[in-house]
Chains A and B, each alone.
Chain A
Amino acid sequence: MSAAPGSPLQPGGARRAAAGLWALVRPVYDARWTLLPPLTGAAMLAMLVGAVVVAPREAIEGEVQRIFYIHVPSAIAAYLAFFVVFVASILVLWRGDMRFDAVARAAATVGVLFTALTLATGAIWGKPIWGTWWAWDARLTSTLVLLLIYSGYLLARSLSDSTDVRAARYAAVFAIIGFVDIPIINMSVRWWRTLHPDPIVTTLPGNQALPDSMLLVLMIGMAAVTLLTLWLLSLRAETERIGVEAEELRAQVDRLEADGTRAGRGVA
């Protein structure tokens, strides 16, 4: 399955460009443990101040609308994390490298966290606005199905050994199907029913639905949640990597001990 270096899939020019890009990103990546915590903290604080103090009170919905500044970024962060799971899963199948499996598991955990946060903040908003915590609306349903798919992924992966290559390949195949299934789920439930407000940020600049101050706070929220996602992802991937390493060391110690016992018996 793995493509040899210099295969037609990866022409030399593209490889050199990727290497150049990596040389630029590398210092930032290496400094992630010193950069991410203060940056995330500052951005989260700015988001909180922005959402509670700076952003104007929404005319119709009132104070509860302020939950929007964490709700929307959380939803986007969840999709971002699931996209990372998708790419890492392709790499698990293509390259057979278990480090990508650790990344996929880490991203799935973070994605499930943000999906749950999206559903929870949505329910808190829905109670006063729609009069109900939950409705079988298109977006709510597809987000819930998303939560179920990746919870299933995590369950499958936690019920198997973290060093099990075949279980990792299986989980990768499941993650790929799950990700490709998302647009089909979205379409099917939209045909089924919809109640959720339309996305208001992505409308054309001419007929912008969101006032500038609200848009600014939303952007800060996006930045804050993206940084938090990256930090959690780094932490989680590092934990997974150390876990795999510990498991391998334990297996090595077991082997050495077994050898030692056999050798000892031989001498005696």
Chain B
Amino acid sequence: MSAAAAVLGKDLRLLWRQRAGWLSAAVFAAISVLTYSFALDLATGEVRPLLPGVLWVTFLFAGIIASGRSFAAEVEQGTFDALMVAPVSRTALYVAKVVSNLLALLLIELAVLLLATILFNTALLTPELIAIMALGTVGYVSLTTLLSTLGSRVRSREVLMPVLALPLLVPLLIAAVRATGGALDLPTGGSPWLLLLAAFTVWSAVGSALLFPMVAEQ
């Protein structure tokens, strides 16, 4: 247990020291919401129904950028090989990385909600919306963290990450957009979207945690 805590400590320290990485994802998210708000305003006067889609597409891309280099520092510095021989379970390595990515992304998303509240003139920082956002974020971060382990072994990895992650995340996108729409009193089609979002999140977290040791194996 103390080894797992030490790994988590390492990831939180890395999160602080390498803040330039995920802060650039935050800047990307801000630019994305600004550009959407601007471009959609040119096309239609009624932008509110488009808001859930705007938010979640921004979240997913920011998530892919922020978690895309999850283990890059460890692999480059040789820490990863040391961790592989250390008496720490590989699941703990994975969970610690998910937690640190999650922290970064929740911060980014809260900032995005604040920005969108101003730009779209809609109260977004409600407990319900924040809960939906946090649930969906656990769902996609667990998957993108697993997919980011491709490391530097593949050329043009930056392009590959969204190409691999987004099709797998289609159910999450549908459920999250509809659930967010429901929280904003938009029509949702009546299916239990929150349940689907929770089910996807559970499967993505458990499945990724089970499969991570197999990718990490030397």
Contacts and interface: CB of A to CB of B under 8 A. Distances in A.
A57 interface: no
Interface string B47-80: 0000000000000000000000000000000000
B174 A155 contact: no
Given A174-B164, A176-B211, A189 B174 contact: yes
Contact of B215 (A149, A164, A170, A180): A170
B207 A177 contact: yes
Interface in B164-192: 164, 166-168, 170-171, 174-175, 178, 189, 191
Interface in A175-227: 176-178, 180-181, 184-185, 187-189, 191-193
A173 B167 contact: no
Contact of A159 (B154, B178, B215): B154
A156 B150 CA distance: 9
Contact of A170 (B150, B174, B193, B203): B150
Q: Classify the interface of chain A: helix, strand, loop or mixed.
A: helix
A185 B143 contact: no
Contacts of B153: 160, 164, 166-167, 170
A192 B176 CA distance: 12
A191 B160 CA distance: 29
Given A145-B170, A152-B163, A169-B214, A160 B200 contact: no
Interface residues of B, number: 34
A173 B168 contact: no
B108 interface: no
Interface residues of A, number: 34
Interface in A209-250: none
B203 to A, nearest CB: 7
A149 B160 CA distance: 11
Contacts of B149: 170
23 contacts: A1-B214, A145-B167, A152-B163, A152-B164, A156-B164, A159-B160, A164-B153, A166-B153, A166-B218, A167-B150, A169-B215, A169-B217, A170-B215, A172-B214, A184-B171, A185-B170, A187-B171, A191-B189, A191-B196, A192-B174, A192-B178, A192-B189, A193-B189
Interface of A: 1, 93, 141, 145, 148-149, 151-153, 155-156, 159-160, 164, 166-167, 169-170, 172-174, 176-178, 180-181, 184-185, 187-189, 191-193
Given A173-B211, A185-B171, A193-B189, 16 more contacts: A141-B170, A148-B167, A149-B167, A149-B168, A156-B164, A159-B155, A166-B153, A166-B218, A169-B217, A172-B214, A176-B211, A177-B143, A184-B199, A189-B171, A191-B193, A192-B189
